[in-house]
Structure 1
Amino acid sequence: MDPSKIYNPKTLSQLTKLSPKVDWDLLVTRLLPSTAPHQDVIIVSSPSYLEKLSAEVLAQSTQRTIQAYLLWRVINEYAPALSEEIRKPLQRLTAKLRGTNAKVTKPRWETCLDQVDLSLGFIAGRYFVMEKFRPETKARADEFVKAIKESFLNRLPELEWLDEATRKHAIEKVDALVRKVGYPTKSPNVMSPVALSDYYSELVIDGDDFFGNYLRGRQWLVMKDWRQAGKPTDKSTWEMTPATVNAYYNPPYNEIVFPAGILQSPFFSGEYPDYLNYGGIGAVVGHELSHSFDNNGRHFDAKGRLSEWWTKETLEAFEKKTSCFVDQYGNFTMEDESGDPIHVNGQLTLGENVADNGGIRQSYVAWKRHYDKNKDGKENMLLPGLENITPEQLFFINYGRIWCGKSTKAQAKQSILVDEHSPPKWRVIGALQNSKYFAEVFKCPAGSPMNPVDKCDLW
């Protein structure tokens, strides 16, 4: 994705002319809070989509068809929160698409927990943090982020394909990178009951009205976003709640964010030796940091502004190097329901593959630098029963472990078609095929599948 192509400011009149079958003025007026300043300019991410939606879909469809589609969207959104009788048909459809058994359903407690996290995730996150995320864990995780950031900075002078002007800006961007670990301390402050009370003051929760809570929670989330219209950006906000098992890089904020939920086993533990933690959460940290220089993140500068700060020569070298990843991952396949091979989309998954490869490299280098200085330290103690496996090997073994998973062939096919991530199997194999350190540690013969002669290399 090229972010510069999705930044298209349009006035409401221009938008109406582009897509006349939608009453944009009515839509914005209804959603915009009465206290918000009037908004006449909207950022349109895909003008061609809206143009074709109006001309080729809405203009050529009957009113009944459009109403049926909108009704289906409502059903699809609300059915999971209603009775089993209403959920069953949707479960059968989902099972058919994923190749699973329609009789196997998610336990009700998981559904309820999902809704609590969606609507009250920061309140629930407070209790999760108090139970599962000690202050010393946060401090240690912070050190991991700092070490991998340093590793990335040390790598930049080694890259011959970067010219000096671009390298200078790249260093500035890494230096300016904001890191958020564990939970937000503003907007809201998760550890402050007063701050949480104020944050959720306009959300009404009734202990005897699950579906009402479901509706009000979604309405509150939508209105919370619309209330930001016309206001300065609040860069202290988080896009994920503390208990979320995920992480992200946010280009306009130039920040990497790691909720307390992913700072748990198997990614991270205060009880793990460093080689396991660096092979787990360390690779994730490096992954998110590398996103700031992938085919998407590279368009943003140190302050998060859309800016073409790369020279033409460096950009040409970058595109040549990334084409290697497109070809490599495009040769990986999974089987569909019929047993036929379906190829990974190397272009769709490029950003994530670049981040995986950069992440594992930066994490290994960061860990090895510390390990070589203190091999006998308690933070790198050998695990009982695994004395015949070296810490270097366990680093990579844990990297493979964090992506362990299982899916049906139908689900694997669906993921390949729409997911910007490669299948977990190829996330591991692809990154390790390109790692010279993996080949050294496991003594893979040159030219073997896990040590190809022509490795893809970027960050």
Structure 2
Amino acid sequence: FAFQTDLQKTDMDKSEEDYYKLAFETGVPQSQILQLTDAFRKMIRLGRRSNPKKQHLKEFVTKDELQSICPQIDWSYILDKVLQETGYVKYHKLPIIIERRNELRQRCAEYREILTEIDGGSTLRTIAIMDFLREQQKNTLNVHTFETNDNFNSSSQPHFDEQCIKRLKDAFPWTLERHYIRSHVNETHKTEVINMFNEIKLTITNSIPKIKSLNEEEKNFMKYKISKMGIFALYSDQNASQQKENLSTVFQYPIREDNYYTNEFYIRKAKYIDTLKAQLHKYNPSLTGSLSRLVSAYYATDENRIYVYPGLLQPPLYYENGSLASKFGALGWIISHEIMHGIGIQGVLYDENQNKRTSFNALLSSGLKHLNALCLSRQYGYYSYTALKAFRTDTQEEMLADNDGLKASYHTYKRLLKKFSNNVSQDNHESLESDRLFFLSSAQAMCGHHGEVILAQNAVAMPHVLEKFRVIGAFVNSRRFARAYGCPVGSPMNPVTKCDAW
């Protein structure tokens, strides 16, 4: 159930209070309070598990066996009703898996007992409706007024708007993706991202021999792993989202402008059917997987490949006619960051084929990376919402990737700037202005606003530090930044002691 059924008394009282508030705010008359109370009590009873912590083996059963375990339900009707919508013609032959056989039998008996009571069927319908409404309240549009601190974003982004947009994306993912890709990206963009990736790789491989702390074997390993690293740039097939949209179940249902709850019912049902369809059919492209329009990039360790999604190709992360400084300051830093994960604390312990490296040199290389990260941990530990995780390996990986990635992207931009100007150097004023644009673009790409609840969660759960401190932390360690903005030695943004991670 969406309502938790195993809470302590104080929390259960609060849950019951929320239950009534939800019912009355969605139009249930006060005169129905006795029916609501009866439904809540029975929901709590039905929701309790005999031994929730006990491990239960899964077992295969036939439909006849399932019918004998739980005769209160017409399983033939249920399975036909659900599986017919998947378009999978052989569903009668699919295996049926259950777990907790005795608890299932007991639960069905409890439902039968309720059904034999006066208005028992009405009580079960009330439970189903209230559970459905609670699910909407938790995951979509909350009928209550949210405090700013509960908001995912800052007070400048109303919770209603944020959740409404999020739900629209969840309901029609492939439609929105199709329109986004067609309006924002093309083969020229794809080529540009691949070229940026290759140029940054070249910068990194050229800089590896200059790392004095590494022996030749580790230098060669890093260069080879970087050279073999691949990229998924924006999309594999521009028509994939159209094909996924054609397969989506949601378009088979009536979506009405004036009936939010009916729409939500159909949207949830469609998502469930699509999940079944993806498991039963070998669709290519699959109905599952990451959305291409996500504003996201990541390094896939098991593939030695970085993924750059087209959601990144929009301001302030990318400008169509932007300069080298703006493109490498923002998108270039993101790409560099992901490349650096391939040779991070954990990255150097795996080769390009994901084989574990256990040699002394591999362990030494990882240890040296970790030592470099300790300087960053001490520095970042003073930043808000960071102290609890500054010395965690996953956070150290992110801090290293930020600092090393910024340096790699900067040197790539400077090298290409010189190359495209036929090796004619800029005068000092032009050079500083261009560098300032590079760092400004980096900072703007990392803007973020969060409510207090998310800030508190971020302090522990997320490996990244807050966007503000990702920028400050990396810039503080950049001599190029200090020079571009004329920061005096010893000032907050140009301390005497810097963490030189790379």
TM above 0.5:
yes
Structure ID, larger Rg: 2
Alignment of 1:389-404 (within 5 A): 390-404=433-447
- Partner residue of 2:390? 346
How big is each residue's C-alpha offset from its partner over 1:155-214, in whole Å with a ceiling of 9 and x where there is no partner? 2111122222222222222122111111232xxxx425774367x367764242532343
One-letter amino acid matched to 2:448: G
Q: Which residue of 2 aligns with 1:337?
A: none
Distance 1:326 1:272 in 2: 34
In the TM superposition, residue 147 of structure 1 has moved relative to its aligned partner by: 0.9
The match for 2:253 is 206
Q: Select between 397-406 and 200-209 the one with higher mean Cα deviation.
A: 200-209
Q: Could you say which residue in structure 2 is the equivalent of 1:271?
A: 321
Unaligned 5+ runs, structure 1: 1-18, 40-71, 335-341
Deviation at 1:277, TM superposition (A): 0.7
- Distance in 2 separating the partners of 1:218 and 1:125: 16
Residue of structure 1 equivalent to 2:199: 147
1:367 equivalent among 408, 413, 421: 413
Alignment length (residue pairs)? 381
The residue type equivalent to 1:136 in the other structure is T
Matched, 1:332 2:365: no
Question: 2:269 matched to which residue of 1?
Answer: 216
- Preserved CA contact (<8 Å) 2:337 2:406: yes
Alpha-carbon spacing, 1:255–1:78, altered in 2? closer, same or farther (3 Å): farther
Matched, 1:318 2:369: yes
Amino acid at match of 1:125: E
Take 1:403 and 1:323, find their aligned partners in 2: how far apart are those partners?
Answer: 23
Verify: 1:256 aligned to 2:296, yes or no: no
**Residues 1:80 and 1:28: Cα distance change in structure 2 (over 3 Å):** farther
SS in 2 for 1:144: helix
Cα distance change on mapping 1:21 and 1:136 into 2, 3 Å? same
User: Matches of 1:325 and 1:435 in 2, distance apart?
Assistant: 13
Superposition deviation, residue 227 in structure 1? 6.3
Q: What residue is the counterpart of 2:234 in the other structure?
A: 182
Deviation at 1:391, TM superposition (A): 0.4
Alignment of 1:10-409 (within 5 A): 21-25=54-58, 78-79=136-137, 87-89=142-144, 92=146, 95-96=149-150, 104-107=158-161, 111=163, 113-118=165-170, 120-185=172-237, 190-192=238-240, 195-196=243-244, 200=247, 205-208=252-255, 210-220=263-273, 222-223=275-276, 239-308=289-358, 311-333=362-384, 343=387, 345-348=389-392, 349-375=395-421, 390-409=433-452
Matched with 2:499 is 456
Indicate how the Cα distance of structure 1 residues 150 and 122 shifts in structure 2: closer, same or farther if over 3 A, else same: farther
Shift of 1:25: 2.1
Q: What's 1:50 paired with?
A: none
Contact 2:152 2:159 in 1 (8 A): no
Q: Which stretch has the larger CA shift, 133-142 or 358-367?
A: 133-142
Tell me the percent identity.
Answer: 22
In the alignment, structure 1 residue 426 sits paired with structure 2 residue 461: no
Instruction: Structure 2: give runs of 5+ residues left out of the alignment.
Output: 1-51, 67-87, 98-129, 256-261
Give the 3-state SS of the residue equivalent to 1:88 in structure 2.
coil
Partner of 2:37: none
In structure 2, distance between residues paired with 1:177 and 1:235: 24
The residue type paired with residue 56 of structure 2 is D
TM-score, normalization by structure 2 = 0.64
Shift in CA distance, 114/381, structure 1 to aligned 2, threshold 3 Å:
farther
Q: Which has the higher contact order (CA 8 A, sep 6+)?
A: 1
Contact 1:434 1:455 in 2 (8 A): yes
State the alpha-carbon separation in 2 of the partners of residues 388 and 312 from structure 1: 41
What SS does structure 2 have at the residue aligned with 1:323?
helix
Distance of aligned partners of 1:365 and 1:172 in 2 relative to their CA distance in 1, 3 Å threshold? same
CA RMSD after TM alignment: 4.3
Relative to structure 1, the CA distance from residue 367 to residue 175 in structure 2 (aligned partners, 3 Å threshold; closer, same or farther) is: same
* Paired residues of 1:180 and 1:257 also in contact (CA < 8 A): yes
Question: How far apart are residue 400 of structure 1 and its match?
Answer: 1.2
CA shift in 2, pair 1:183/1:381, >3 Å: farther
2:390 and 2:61 map into 1 onto residues whose CA distance is 38
The alpha carbon displacement at 1:416 in A equals: 1.7
TM-score by length of structure 1 reads 0.69
